[in-house]
Homo-oligomer: A and B are copies of this chain.
């Protein structure tokens, strides 16, 4: 077990992610952070995001558009992904705790968690046709 040390970069990455609600990719976050730390490297952003995911302080979203997205909200909730623009939205609906047990009955193993992604077209893309 390795001991964590404070780092201004990690602090900033977490703060910045908590302040946004658009579930940025590592690269988008990197662009933001560079306003405060012009010399930070993309490798550092990735290393810290992975570290924060391991610590359970943030979560990684793999919604199928190529790059992973990150979310500072680790409470159970679901996401809506626009297939046109790729934007990822929080979905303020009740988490379905019971479906882990439902899945458990049919799974060939121990079920711990689940993720749900809803797909469709967001209002912005519907309007701008």
Contacts and interface: CB of A to CB of B under 8 A. Distances in A.
Contact of A109 (B62, B114, B117, B126): B126
Interface residues of A, number: 40
Interface stretch (A4-12, A23-31, A32-40, A85-93): A85-93
Contact of A118 (B60, B91, B113, B119): B113
Interface in A71-129: 78, 80, 82-83, 89, 91-93, 96, 99-100, 102-103, 105-126
The 9 closest A-B pairs by CB, nearest first: A109-B122, A62-B64, A112-B120, A111-B120, A114-B118, A103-B118, A93-B106, A110-B120, A80-B107
Interface of A: 60, 62-64, 68, 78, 80, 82-83, 89, 91-93, 96, 99-100, 102-103, 105-126
